Chains A and B, each alone.
Chain A
Amino acid sequence: EPEVTQTPSHQVTQMGQEVILRCVPISNHLYFYWYRQILGQKVEFLVSFYNNEISEKSEIFDDQFSVERPDGSNFTLKIRSTKLEDSAMYFCASSDGGRLGTASGTVEADTQYFGPGTRLTVL
């Protein structure tokens, strides 16, 4: 079964450094997402991406963050100048947007599939 993959699994960086977190979504998916989870807190949405542009972003996703789909398979999250509070688990997710059935009119829910996460530690 295809899975979302993420690299690296753990990234340690110094405050102020740039980091790039990489994700390979499921191959036929068109919608891509980044979430993060600070230790002990809930999973929070950062950004969604479709058709080579950002669809939605949260308040967390400020000018220090950017996303890119540099080729047909990778989806990256860049943090330009990391802060201590950026330390978190970052999850990538992808979805195919769901399906509308024809004869029956049923809808298959748009389901997001998650990668294993990258643990980012900012020192």
Chain B
Amino acid sequence: AQRVTQPEKLLSVFKGAPVELKCNYSYSGSPELFWYVQYSRQRLQLLLRHISRESIKGFTADLNKGETSFHLKKPFAQEEDSAMYYCALSTGTASKLTFGTGTRLQVTL
């Protein structure tokens, strides 16, 4: 069975500091990895998916199959980045998402 691990419950950084939210996964096949973000009192929103290799709101994430990781990074944190971030794994088209426990990012002045 697949599993997603986000080791940090809370990550607190200063505005302008680099951010790295960790995500590790276990799955024997080729997974699809996603980052979802949940701002205060809002719905889960897709932030990034590994297959698109895109940068959204300055965030990037690279799938490292050797380390089974999909860490989320941003060089300079902004106050508006404060939110709950969830890493999720899918085993293919129309498959369920397996979520990590989430990391709360707190950006302070």
Residues of A participating in the B interface, judged by any CB pair closer than 8 Å: 3-4, 31, 33, 35, 41-45, 48, 50, 55-56, 58, 91, 93, 95, 97-98, 107-117
Provide the residues of chain B in CB contact with A91, threshold 8 Å: 43-44
CB-based contact A110/B93 at 8 Å: yes
CB-based contact B49/A111 at 8 Å: yes
**B87-105 interface bits toward A, Cβ cutoff 8 Å, 1 = contact, 0 = none:** 0101011111111111000
Q: Closest CB-CB distance, B12 to chain A, in whole Å?
A: 19
Residues of B participating in the A interface, judged by any CB pair closer than 8 Å: 32, 34, 36, 42-46, 49, 51-52, 86, 88, 90, 92-102
User: A78 CA to B95 CA in the complex, in Å?
Assistant: 22
Q: Closest CB-CB distance, A101 to chain B, in whole Å?
A: 12
User: A97 CA to B93 CA in the complex, in Å?
Assistant: 6
Known: A110-B90, A110-B92. 20 other contacts (CB 8 A): A33-B97, A42-B101, A42-B102, A43-B86, A43-B102, A44-B99, A55-B94, A56-B96, A91-B44, A93-B97, A97-B93, A108-B51, A109-B34, A109-B49, A109-B51, A110-B95, A111-B49, A112-B46, A113-B46, A117-B43
CB-based contact A115/B97 at 8 Å: no
Q: Closest CB-CB distance, A105 to chain B, in whole Å?
A: 13
CB-based contact A43/B44 at 8 Å: yes
